[in-house]
Amino acid sequence: MIISVRDLRREFVVRRPTGRLRRTRTVVRAVDGLDFDVDAGTAIGYIGANGAGKSTTIKMLTGILKPTAGSVQTCGLVPMRDRKVLARRIGVVFGQRSQLWWDLPLAQSFRTLAAIHRLPETGWPARRDELVERLDLGDFIHTPVRQLSLGQRIRGEIAAALLHSPELLILDEPTIGLDVLSKERLRVFLAEQRAEHGTTLLLTTHDMDDVQRLCERIIVVDRGRLAYDGTLPGLAARVGAERVITLDLTEPAPPLRDVPGTRLVDVEPDGLRQRLSFSPHETTAAAVLARVGQLVGVRDLAIDEPDIEDVVRRLYLGAPSVGSSDGGVHAEQ
């Protein structure tokens, strides 16, 4: 058991000025009674909407924040009390906050980190070379971090967090802002690290693909509480993680009500744009397209994956449903 969380709570006091001198004091429960365990070697997706309490949980797992109540153990240690011992056994990457020295090149940062973790001079260069090769850092290892692109910097951050070969790697939104190719390379790398070194992964993300590709277990938090704990297919079965295919037709057509395995979501008045939802377990996008193609010409199409916010919302509503006319990935924007 690498993480053990029991009835974990964390409150914040928010003071807001009301009037010239008065301030109201509100207690916000960021984490409100979480219970879960993580076995060593697992890859776990920790997901939830913004403000659901993900970062707060991570800060309590790593010893940055003290729980208001309940207990947390990471690598068998109490994070706040054993912060320095724990720091040698875990690696943490915050996608939106750099832990590197912005004015130093990665090569220098690695040297400094090796010294900080007191890694033996005989061992760490080999580990660094492995990370440089796998994460493809060679081209910019001597460039100051502030001149790197986002994708390059994140790869550097991950290498920095893994240099001391931690048992547990915690990633907070590691793929945020990355292009599709960078995301994919990162996922492949993380899966490799896990396979080769048995590293436990805990990642928070907004990207359903991250979860799908990397995690065998998902924990969904909503307003600080556990909303779901299980596998991704289990979650999909519960909330009906359906994809929505938007078809732009070459000519107006009657509503496409009888395509097997799909449900018609909406039709624009002229019949030129129609949206169908389908479950990936029942049919495929290709099959849907083939069937529609027999009825009418398709000029263009787009497929929207259900996003985390959507899944969480549906989980909360407790009923499988499909987005309305404005459903899909961009529903929240």
Partner 1 sequence: MVDRLRPYRELIGSRIRSQTAYRRSFALDVSGSVMVGLVEFAEVYIIFANVDALGGLDFAGVALVFALAHLTFSVADLIIGHLDNLPTYLRMGTLDAFLLRPLPVLAQLVTSDVSLRRFGRIAVAMIILAIALPMNDIDWTPARVALLIIAATAGTAIFAALFLAAAAVQFWLVEGREFVNAFTYGGNYAASFPASVFAVPMRAFFTFVVPAAFVAYLPTLVLLDLPGPVGLPQWLGWCSPVAAVALWCAALAGWRAGLRHYSGAGS
Binding of residue 65 to partner 1 (CB under 8 A):
yes
Q: How many residues bind partner 1 (CB under 8 A)?
A: 32
For partner 1, the closer of residues 165 and 277 by Cβ is 165
Half-sphere exposure for 253 (CA within 13 Å, toward CB): 22
- Which of 84, 258, 269, 294 binds partner 1 (CB under 8 A)? It is 84
85 binding partner 1? (CB under 8 A): yes
Strand partners, 294: none
Write the binding mask 300 to 329 for partner 1: x where contact by CB under 8 A, - elsewhere.
------------------------------
Beta bridge partners of residue 9, listed in sequence order? 32, 69
DSSP 278: E
The answer to the question of residue 66 lying near partner 1 (CB under 8 A) is: yes
Q: Which stretch binds partner 1 (CB under 8 A): 62-70, 225-233, 244-252, 282-290?
A: 62-70
| Residue 224 found at the interface with partner 1 (CB under 8 A) | no
Answer yes or no whether residue 12 interacts with partner 1 by CB under 8 A. yes
- Which residues lie below 8 Å from residue 65, measured CB to CB, with a gap of 6+? 10, 56, 59
Q: Which two tokens stand for residue 165?
A: 């070969």
Which listed range, 76-84, 192-200, 238-246, 272-280, lies at the site for partner 1 (CB under 8 A)?
76-84
The string over 182-199, giving b where at least 16 C-beta atoms fall within 10 Å of a residue's C-beta and e elsewhere, is bbebbbebbeebbeeeeb
Between 65 and 239, whose beta carbon lies closer to partner 1? 65
CB of 162 to partner 1, least distance (A): 13
Q: Return the exposure string of 2-12: e unless at least 16 CB atoms fall within 10 Å of the residue's CB, then b.
A: bbbbeebbbbe
Residues 6+ apart with CB under 8 A from 249: 271, 272, 273, 274, 296, 297, 298, 299
Distance in Å, CB of 108 to partner 1, minimum:
6
Per-residue binding string, partner 1, 189-218, x by CB under 8 A, is: ------------------------------
The residue (of 164 and 217) whose beta carbon lies closer to partner 1 is: 164
What three-state secondary structure class fits 124? helix
Cβ distance to partner 1 smaller for residue 82 or 229 = 82
Among 53, 63, 95, 323, binds partner 1 (CB under 8 A): 63
Q: What is the 3-state secondary structure (H, E, C) of 195-249?
A: HHHCCEEEEECCCHHHHHHHCCEEEEEECCEEEEEECHHHHHHHHCCCEEEEEEE
Q: With contacts defined by CB under 8 A, name the span among 88-96, 181-189, 256-264, 279-287 that binds partner 1.
A: 88-96
Which strand ranges, in their side-by-side order, compose the sheet holding 69-74? 23-38, 3-17, 69-74
62 binds partner 1 (CB under 8 A): yes
Q: How many other C-beta atoms can be found within 10 angstroms of the C-beta atom of residue 283?
A: 17
Handedness of CA 10, 8, 98, 217 (dihedral sign): negative
Q: Per-residue contact track with partner 1, 114 to 133, x per CB under 8 A?
A: -xxxx---------------
What's phi and psi for 229, nearest 5 deg? -145, 110
Given the complex with partner 1, which of 177 and 254 has the nearer CB atom?
177
Q: Given the rule CB under 8 A, which of 45-53, 77-85, 250-258, 269-277 is the region that contacts partner 1?
A: 77-85
Q: Is 99 in the site for partner 1 (CB under 8 A)?
A: yes
Residues in touch with partner 1 (CB under 8 A): 10, 12-13, 56, 59, 62-66, 80, 83-85, 87-88, 90, 92, 94, 97-99, 101, 103-104, 108, 111-112, 115-118
